[in-house]
Amino acid sequence: MRPRFDADLIARYGGEGPRYTSYPTALQFDDAFDARAWKRALGESNRLPIPADLSIYVHVPFCFSPCFYCGCNRVITRSPFAGQEFLNDLEREIDLVAPNIDDDREVRQVHLGGGTPTFLQPMQIEQLIRMLKARFRFASDAEIGLEADPRSLEPEDLPQLRRIGFNRLSLGIQDLDPDVQRAVNRVHDLARIASIFGAARAVGIDSISVDLIYGLPLQTTEAFARTVEDILNELRPDRISLFNYAHMPHRFKAQQRIKGEDLPTPTVKLALFRNTLSRLLDAGYEFIGMDHFALPDDDLARAHRDGTMTRNFQGYSTHGGLDLLAFGPSAIGQVGDAFAQNHRGLPDWQADVRAGRLPIARGLVRTTDDRLRAEVISTIMCTGEVRYADFEQHYEFRFRRYFADALARLEPLVDDGLIEWVEDGFRATAAGLLFLRAVAMAFDAYLQPAGDSSGPRRFSRII
């Protein structure tokens, strides 16, 4: 179904909301959950009748210079030693975790994120993958992906990356307009990105994704339309993420360098979103959910169509049901019902791994209620549709009775045309597809009581 833009609904439902890369969200993590609890959870995950296969996330925290809009956990440095020192520490962390995981569990997915993984030299990235392969068994068709900043990836690096096993690439573009790029301290041109694309395609990288952001300083509808045209005509990436710029200068210091008067007005911002949405749909991209688009023959679009897509800490994914091991500062892992987050700060993370301690800062163990809500929320975020019977089969409960409060919270959304009741369930309308987070929020037991909007922003805006 093609999502429909409705300005009135955006005014009412486009406010803040969790991105639901997990439920409960990381805000609920508690520092009472410690390294011992994580170790116990890792051990228990081996003892299930069929232990889950594995996904691995590595957070490489470094960047060469700060992009002013950035809300990621990163450390700005030009030190030539930072990368190698990090790899040494990372090896210590992997050595603390790997003995807790049975050898026969296969790694089906690896993702290097950050910060900027391409801060590392290709040789160092190879070392990192070798470190993992020495301790975990990789499936022969494992999906291995890398987030890359076009300024720190050379087209000549692609053959080596492919040989190491990378078959997914995600490039941060954000905007191609020179004025916008200067205003956010991130200057790179299309020619360079096109040559990276060419090299990636030539070596057979299966899926290339790009990140764009709307709402950046000095963006205009005309100039952003040119960015979108260039990306469609010159690159035609398999996937596009169209992020809504989350301006939270109280949380991210670099954002204080963005002048408030340079930000597009809410009207312009909406137009940026509306125009890009319709252009991407017209160009043949499928709307996957939230801020994601994919070409119809991309794995993610296929998984979306056949209902197998899932949502995890990396966003939408084709791989469900995996246990997630996460390495590096701030990285979040999940095995079964346990979540654990590493220390956010590089020094704290380093201190723990050097002392031989798992660097866990906080986490939680989901209750049965959490798990049930997590499944409902993930189903909403991935399919926009809930059938009560699907849940009643797995949990002994009556959906309507158990979730009476949540369903009552959905009534205004039905009245406003975001969702509609269907036999034994509900589903998002074309207009509601853009507000899946607002629908999911009705099932979130941890949200502040309605009406309490005091305090600083905690979540990004839905639109």
User: Does position 224 bind ligand SAM by CB under 6 A?
Assistant: no
Site for ligand SAM in 172-191 (CB under 6 A): 172, 174
Question: Whole-number minimum distance, CB 63 to ligand SF4, in Å?
Answer: 3
Helices marked H in 345-427: 346-354, 368-383, 388-394, 399-402, 404-415
Q: Name which of 63 and 380 has its Cβ closer to ligand SAM.
A: 63
219 binds ligand SF4 (CB under 6 A): no
Burial string for 289-302 (b: 16+ CB within 10 Å, else e) reads: bbbbbbbeebbbbe
**Is 289 one of the binding residues for ligand SAM (CB under 6 A)?**
no
**Residue closer to ligand SF4 (CB basis): 116 or 318:** 116
Query: What does 59 bind: ligand SF4, ligand SAM, none (CB cut-off 5 to 8 Å by kind)?
Result: none
170 binds ligand SF4 (CB under 6 A): no
DSSP string, 14-61: -SB----SSSS-GGG-BTTS-HHHHHHHHHHHHSSSS---EEEEEEE-
Out of 149, 177, 323, 352, which residue is the one contacting ligand SAM (CB under 6 A)? Answer: 149
**Residues of span 220-259 touching ligand SF4 by CB under 6 A:** none
How many C-beta atoms surround the C-beta of residue 432 within 10 A? 26
**Binding partner of residue 66 among ligand SAM, ligand SF4, none, CB under 5 to 8 Å per kind?**
ligand SF4
Of the pair 114, 384, the CB lying nearest ligand SAM is at 114
Q: Closest residue (Cβ) to ligand SAM?
A: 172
Our finding on whether 276 is near ligand SF4 (CB under 6 A) is no
- Does 24 sit behind a cis peptide bond, omega within 30 degrees of 0 on the bond before it? yes
In the structure encoding, which two tokens stand for residue 77, read together? 């440095």
Instruction: Tell me the DSSP string of 225-240.
Output: HHHHHHIIIII--SEE
Largest CA distance in the chain: 61
Piece in contact with ligand SAM (CB under 6 A), picked from 62-70, 134-142, 229-237, 424-432? 62-70
User: Least distance to ligand SF4 from the beta carbon of 169, Å?
Assistant: 14
The angle, 0 to 180 degrees and rounded to 10, between the axes of the packed helices 82-97 and 346-354 is 50
3 makes contact with ligand SF4 (CB under 6 A): no
Q: Among all chains, which residue has been given the structure tokens 């039905």?
A: 414
Q: How far does Cα 167 stand from its chain's mean position? A: 18
DSSP 461: B
Which residues sit at the interface with ligand SF4, rule CB under 6 A? 63, 66-67, 70, 72, 74, 114-116, 149, 172
Q: Applying CB under 6 A, which residues contact ligand SAM?
A: 63, 69-72, 113-116, 147, 149, 172, 174, 211, 213, 243, 245-246
